[in-house]
Structure 1
Amino acid sequence: MKNLVILGSTGSIGRNTLEVIEPFPQDFRVWGLSGHSNIELLEAQTLKFNPEFVTVTDEKSYQVLKGKVPGSKLLFGIEGLKEMVSQADADMVINGLVGSVGLFPSLTAIENGKTLALANKEVLVMAGELVTQKAQEKKAQILPIDSEHSGIFQCLFSGKKEEVKNLFLTASGGPFLNRDKKDFDEIKVSDALAHPTWKMGKKITVDSATLMNKTLEIIEAHWLFNMAPEKIKVVIHPQSIVHSLVEFIDGSIIAQMGATDMKLPIQYALFYPERKVASSNGFNLSSVKTLTFQEPDTEKFPAVKLGYQALKLKGTAPAVLNAANEVAVNCFLEEKIPFSRICPIVEEVLSSHSVISAPSLDDILKADLWGREKTLTLIKN
């Protein structure tokens, strides 16, 4: 039986993870849960799964939850997350957090030799070299939960690394694939959150609309699979049936297909290296009438180019890219900037950053803070 710590249990990844494991009580025990401000749901999850530890990262919510979960040890903040994932009895940490907040608990989990099932792509975007080096040193396994990276992970078993020609990350193109760029100023928050194929959290849904999620995934794939940036491609696939592809040097292309349901990559990571019968509805291949692929329009969606730019700059550049995007997306969601300003702001912040080429963790955190402050300054002005 695996003892699981689920970071972000009230979010999309966390809720799906709990749904995946519920039919398998003989295989998994919920050892720890964490949430931010959705206290009603976190309380309900705690009472249902009876974890040893619960961590709340919002102070007001932490005070509200005190005394309501007597069967679990209640912890607070980043330090609480770190304490929870470092517990000796915890076997696997599922990081479903959003943004840079997931970096410290991920590093702590790796430091303690835990298996890290990672959906929080910003961890590898910010500190990919540090994280992967630490994982090698501690012999801690990182398993991808992102559907695209899970697909690549599965496809790579078809050959050796030196036989790989290209990795392909698919993108639906988001809700604005066929909208004229001149109309981007008119996009409302509700428009950007109406993803055509996936149900996700707000931040990643906006990233899908700008294609910034592919930018982050390019960087994530580079570190997860130790693959040169020029071998990592993005292809628009509106049906979202093929999650990723691997092209080998002999011309063969292996694709991973499945329903647009995050439960599939979550279950694959939880049971890896085994497979189990899925509790969800599966996939009806005969229902697929058309599969189409096209190159991304980088003039319309310039975010795609920024991932390659950040990897070329190396060092602290990806952390600044991520920080600027987090702030810009949040400001868009708060209706402080138009949708059309997100990518230009991120690009301007990245271009003005003085890169530290071999950063320490402290350097990365300072670059992250600089990127946030610079972005807010640009937005205010």
Structure 2
Amino acid sequence: MSPTSVAVLGSTGSIGTQTLEVVADRPDDFDVVALGAARSVDLLVEQACTFRPDLVAVADPSVAADVASGVPDGTEVLAGPDALAEAAVLADVTINGVVGFAGLPVTLATLAAGRRLGLANKESLIAAGPVVQRVRTTPGAELLPVDSEHCAIHQCLRANDVDERVARIVLTASGGPFRGRPGRRTGRRDRGRGFGPIRRGPWAPRSPSTPRPS
């Protein structure tokens, strides 16, 4: 049986490096065909030399030459704002560990191509949840959460076959803009601040004082 091809985008971050650790432990099961990052040249080149993918994508064109000079022969380097999304469709499974809103094109490209998506980029759902849900209906597409609490909840629901009996799930926050602040200083008046940096479209959450469009 052929190994499952994997694209790890955001490969130099926490999710990406942990994914590659798993892949390295199971070389007969997985084959890394694409890696991608924003601009972390040294680590990206190191990963490329270890896994020898067909393609390395880098979002920042200014570091493309440095990446190209370090990757193994036979590895193509693709650079620019669309590079990560183009790399996303090359594998059976794509891990989206890209940070922030930049991960949305990766999510949409993977699902639109009918691939399996391991999603750690929560901004994709916060900023464009309805769009992602529509694209997720593409034949062959599958969305799987791979980040902390979301992955744990997903596994619990699948293992116990109780998803239709669960009406609501509440996840507590462990980080974000309020990390390190005493609980008594974080009240309802601060709720909107948690979404401030990613308020980019009609799908984004609003603070209580922001009226909904008619």
TM > 0.5: yes
- Aligned counterpart, 1:167: 169
Give SS of 1:167's match. coil
What amino acid is aligned across from residue 75 of structure 1 in structure 2?
L
* 1:92 matched residue in structure 2: 93
Is the 8 Å Cα contact of residues 91 and 114 (structure 1) preserved in structure 2? yes
Q: Letter of the aligned partner of 1:45 in structure 2?
A: Q
Query: Against the structure 1 CA distance between its residues 7 and 159, is the aligned structure 2 distance closer, same or farther, given a 3 Å change threshold?
Result: same
C-alpha distance in 2, partners of 1:108/1:121? 16
Instruction: Count residues with an aligned counterpart.
Output: 206
Q: Shift of the alpha carbon at 1:65?
A: 1.7
Structure 1 unaligned residues grouped into runs of 5+ = 173-204, 212-295, 322-346, 358-381
Structure 2 residue 12 is matched with structure 1 residue 126: no
- Matched-pair contact (CA < 8 Å) for 1:91–1:115: yes
Name the counterpart of 1:107.
108
Q: Which residue of 2 aligns with 1:28?
A: 30
Check whether the contact 1:66–1:74 (CA below 8 A) recurs between aligned residues. yes
| TM-score where L is the length of structure 2 | 0.83
Match of 2:18 in 1: 16
1:376 equivalent in structure 2: none
Distance change (3 Å), C-alpha of 1:72 and 1:298: farther
Separation in 2, partners of 1:41, 1:303: 41
Instruction: Confirm or deny that 1:5 pairs with 2:21.
Output: no
Please give the per-residue CA displacement for 1:65-120, whole angstroms capped at 9, x wherever unaligned.
Answer: 22322321100123222221223xx1000000110001112101111011000000
Contact 1:54 1:73 in 2 (8 A): yes
1:166 Cα shift? 3.5
CA contact (8 A) 1:6 1:95 kept: yes
Identify which of 62, 73, 77 aligns with 1:74. 77
Change (3 A) 1:317 1:132: closer
- RMSD of aligned Cα (Å): 3.0
Instruction: Say if 1:93 and 1:115, in contact at 8 Å, map to a contact too.
Output: yes
2:62 — aligned with what? 60
The verdict on how the C-alpha distance between 1:142 and 1:299 changes in structure 2, with shifts beyond 3 A counting, is: same
Rg: which structure is higher?
1
TM-score (norm 1): 0.49
Choose between structure 1 and 2: higher helix proportion.
1
The whole-number CA distance in structure 2 between the counterparts of 1:297 and 1:144 is: 28
**Structure 2 unmatched ranges of 5 or more:** none
Q: C-alpha displacement at 1:167, in angstroms?
A: 1.6
**Over 3 Å off, 4+ runs:** 159-162, 205-208, 296-299, 301-307, 354-357
